[in-house]
Structure 1
Amino acid sequence: MRISVLQGDITRRRVDVVVNAANSSLLGGGGVDGALHRAAGPELLAACRELRATGLPHGLQTGAAVATPAFGLPARWVIHTVGPNRHAGQTNRALLVSCFSESLRLADTLDAGALAFPAVGAGAYGWGAAAVAQAALDAVEGFRASHPASGLELVEFVLHTAEVEAVFKDVLGPLR
């Protein structure tokens, strides 16, 4: 599995899966969540409403992941995951790692060859870039060890700013 770290717009990545740093409602929001919903079109919101109506009436739990089609995005799937909100007192690092681990696991079940992650938990949810990058590193290393036959060939970390990109490159350097 190759690891790539780059600054860019995750809504434009031509991969099998893009990961959405969603909120628990799955009904859109700001940041990456809002950008993905806008780029995917209204069908993404409709698919998320269907998830809420059928299997997730209380929303998606922190650290969990669920997939929908990608609709207007150049990807095939969107995996939605909810990071812990440090500002709301959610400081359990294991939940942050779980966002990445569960997304990787779900992407593998979708036979994805390439996946793009944002900095889940950074920004509005208050986790520093280094903590997020370290959680991602732990998840990728754990996934590699437990899924040696995975078809997942490329994991990209698509970061919004050069500063966050630099932090991720520093932390994930040994994997690349």
Structure 2
Amino acid sequence: MKKTIANTTIEIIRGDIASQPDMQAIVNAANAHLLNGGGVAGAIHRAAGPGLEKECKPMGPIRPGEAVISGGHNLPNKYVIHCLGPVYGQDKPEDKLLADCYRNALLLADKKEIESIAFPAISTGIFGYPAEDAAHVALKTIIDTIPNLTNIRTIRVVLFGQDDFEIWKKALAG
């Protein structure tokens, strides 16, 4: 599923965030200390190799909504942008912090002259953010941020499961 706004295309696909060779940057749904973990962070760290954790360690801890950038190491991507999403029911206000993740990652990527970026569904795993609500917050933020971008031409959201894929497709369709 695709939608083009201005000169930027938003894509929703089903796949593995750590296997997006045509993207300059991927986004890690990171933990505060930017270390290896479960879910998306674990998949990205396993694919990138131990150099990623070594590079990231001095950058942590980060707060919910913040984004930092590292190299891609053994990934096919030049960069990894690490965002700490909110824990649903704990980090308040959840919607603002989740929006900050997407906005800050996009602005950081654009500043680095990155043209393509892939996101996972931030905070919807172990952090418990309801998938439909997260999709709406994320897509509204992405769409609202596009007019402020000068370099990014492709924004991809990569969903691992079929249910999440269907939720995000429906949200993008409006």
Tell me if both proteins adopt one fold, taking TM over 0.5 as the criterion. yes
Asked whether 1:27 is paired with 2:35, we answer yes
**Which segments of 5 or more consecutive residues in structure 1 lack a partner in the other structure?**
53-58
1:38: Cα distance to partner?
0.5
**Which segments of 5 or more consecutive residues in structure 2 lack a partner in the other structure?**
1-7
Residue 101 of structure 2: SS of its match in structure 1? helix
Residue 126 of structure 2: SS of its match in structure 1? helix
**8 Å Cα contact 1:85/1:91 also seen in 2:** no
**8 Å Cα contact 2:64/2:91 also seen in 1:** no
RMSD over aligned Cα, in angstroms?
A: 1.2
TM-score of the superposition, structure 1-length normalised? Answer: 0.90
Q: How many residues align?
A: 166
Residue 10 of structure 1: SS of its match in structure 2? coil
Alignment partner, residue 73 of structure 1: 75
**8 Å Cα contact 1:129/1:167 also seen in 2:** yes
1:91: Cα distance to partner?
4.7
**8 Å Cα contact 1:65/1:103 also seen in 2:** yes
Residue 11 of structure 1: SS of its match in structure 2? coil
TM-score of the superposition, structure 2-length normalised? Answer: 0.91
Asked whether 1:45 is paired with 2:53, we answer yes
Change (3 A) 1:32 1:25: same
Alignment partner, residue 108 of structure 1: 110
* Deviation beyond 3 Å, 4+ runs, structure 1: 87-91
Percent of pairs identical after alignment? 34
Residue 85 of structure 1: SS of its match in structure 2? coil
What letter matches 1:135 in structure 2?
V
What letter matches 1:43 in structure 2?
G
Matched residues in 2 for 1:90 and 1:123: separation?
17
**8 Å Cα contact 1:159/1:165 also seen in 2:** yes
1:103-152 C-alpha deviation (Å, 9 max, x unpaired): 000110111111000000101111111111111112112212333xx121
